[in-house]
Amino acid sequence: MADLKGINLAMQTPFDENGAINYAVFEELIDRYVEAGVHGLVLGAGTGQHPYLTEAECNRLYEVGAKRIAGRCNVICQASALNMDEVIRRSKHAQAVGAHALMILPPYFEGPGDDDGIFEFYRTIDAAVGTDIVGYNIPQATGISISPQLLERLFQLKNFNYIKDSAGDFTVHQEFLQKNGTILNGADPTTVYALMAGTRGVIWGAANYMPAEAVELYDLVSSGKYAQALALWQRMLPSILFIWRSPYTPSVLLAAQLRGYGTGNVRRPLRKLSQDQEALLRKSLAALEG
């Protein structure tokens, strides 16, 4: 079982002005994020615009990414898809190129939403792969909530050892923490509190524009330096609140570009922020420079 502790950066996929993946920038970003001390990189994350990448693009992205990372941190690949056979196919490819874990959404578009149906979905994948599975609880996007009771069942599967909880319900998150598996926080505004509560690590989109600060926050909490962690958190919080209440991925990518990470380009149908939104984002980022 991989240890996905710490900061697992939900990595952006850099695009050029025409919407093509810029692999040179991708590899450069990997080096910079690894040098910042992140513990893992999530390739093809939601922040990496996974829904708008083809299967072939994801496969190449994971091949290039795993080779560039070269064992310097954990590699987590998203293998989500609507078609069951495609999920398994994507999972096996990511596994073959060296993924330490596979992040997989539940059947998120008119699939089974009941506990038994979701369990069977993950059970089928679990039986087909030999790599750690990171389930994904993000009901605001999928319409599916993983209950603590269902999570307890899922953790009995051989490879289902993690769940990324992006719901932002801290009560449920703490209920998850009582189960016999590993919880990864995915809701940006609760990050510091989840770490203090015992969350093993995070899968974090905002780390794209503040990787060093994210690692420092984790290190401070891990060392029990809560006052210092909360002081750092106050500098991080304005931009975190902005991106959480705004178009998330375009906000993160622009913030990253403004701080020297990546191109800032999104792929259609996503759109860049408006001028007014950009002005507010710039204002929120100012606290990080203080």
Band of residue 246 on the pLDDT scale cut at 50, 70, 90: very high
C-alpha 182/C-alpha 28 separation (Å) is 31
Tell me phi and psi for residue 160, to 5 degrees: -80, 90
Please count the other Cβ atoms lying within 10 Å of the Cβ belonging to residue 104: 25
What's the pTM value of the predicted model, to 2 decimals? 0.97
On the 0-12 / 13-18 / 19+ scale of CB atoms within 10 A, 61 is: buried
Q: Are strands 74-78 and 40-43 parallel, antiparallel or unpaired?
A: parallel
Residues 6+ apart with CB under 8 A from 48: 10, 11, 12, 13, 42, 61, 78
pLDDT of residue 54: 97
Domains within the chain, CATH numbers bracketed: 6-222 (3.20.20.70)
Helix (H, G, I), strand (E, B) or coil at 132: strand
pLDDT tens for 134-155 read: 999 999 999 999 999 999 999 9
81-84, long-range: CB within 8 Å, 24+ apart, which pairs? 81/55, 82/107, 82/108, 82/109, 82/111, 84/121, 84/124
Mean pLDDT across 202-221: 98
pLDDT tens for 174-186 read: 999 999 899 999 9
pLDDT tens for 79-131 read: 999 999 999 999 999 999 999 999 999 998 888 889 999 999 999 999 999 99
pLDDT tens for 18-36 read: 999 999 999 999 999 999 9
Q: ∠ CA(51), CA(52), CA(55), 5° rounding?
A: 80
Band of residue 215 on the pLDDT scale cut at 50, 70, 90: very high
What's the chain's length in residues? Answer: 290
pLDDT of residue 205: 98
Mean pLDDT across 48-77: 98
C-alpha 93/C-alpha 101 separation (Å) is 12
pLDDT of residue 109: 83
pLDDT tens for 219-243 read: 999 999 999 999 999 999 999 999 9
pLDDT tens for 263-288 read: 999 999 999 999 999 999 999 999 99
The beta strands (E) that lie in 179-238 are given as 182-185, 201-204
The beta strands (E) that lie in 36-125 are given as 40-43, 74-78, 101-104
Band of residue 161 on the pLDDT scale cut at 50, 70, 90: very high
